[in-house]
């Protein structure tokens, strides 16, 4: 009985844990899609700088070429593990212009803390 109660409590907590962060937004159906291919390898992302337009549904297909890495983008509430020699798909809506850092979230060796990059969201009106 206590396992059922615990399971129900966990389910209630999961349902109630919606993000109140205005930067973590739902992706509108009509948003244009921008797909980016990225690799993660000791100790860098390639590309390490991504430029997208505000109002875009961004999809990043990121492949770890060697060891386990992770991709964390705090602005969008993203922290995705990147298993060795596999591809992960990361999606978010670029609703706010600005420059937002990303980094490796899995310790991958001595150069781990320098494994960073940035996403630049340009205003939709800017070409």
Please tell me whether residue 14 adopts helix, strand or coil conformation. helix
Nearest CA among 57, 44, 26 for reference residue 121: 57
- The model's pTM is 0.77
Confirm whether 14 is domain-assigned: no
Sign of the C-alpha dihedral computed for residues 23, 29, 32 and 37 taken in this order? positive
pLDDT surpasses 50 at 71: yes
| CATH number of the domain enclosing 74 | 2.60.40.420
Nearest CA among 41, 43, 62, 64 for reference residue 119: 62
pLDDT in tens, 12-25: 444 444 444 444 56
For the chain, what is the domain count? 1
| Domain region containing 67 | 32-122
Confirm whether 12 is domain-assigned: no
Please give the radius of gyration of the chain, using alpha carbons only, rounded to the nearest integer: 17
């Amino acid at each position: 009985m206590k396992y059922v109660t615990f399971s129900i409590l966990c389910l209630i907590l999961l349902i109630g844990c919606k993000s109140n962060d205005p930067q973590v937004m739902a992706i509108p159906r009509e948003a244009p899609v921008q797909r980016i291919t990225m690799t993660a390898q000791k100790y860098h992302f390639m590309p390490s700088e991504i430029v997208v337009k505000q109002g875009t549904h961004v999809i990043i297909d990121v492949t770890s070429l060697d060891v386990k890495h992770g991709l964390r983008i705090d602005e969008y509430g993203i922290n995705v593990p990147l298993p060795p020699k596999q591809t992960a798909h990361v999606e978010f809506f670029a609703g706010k212009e600005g420059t937002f850092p990303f980094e490796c979230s899995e310790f991958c060796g001595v150069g781990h803390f320098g494994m960073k990059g940035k996403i630049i969201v340009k205003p939709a009106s800017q070409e």
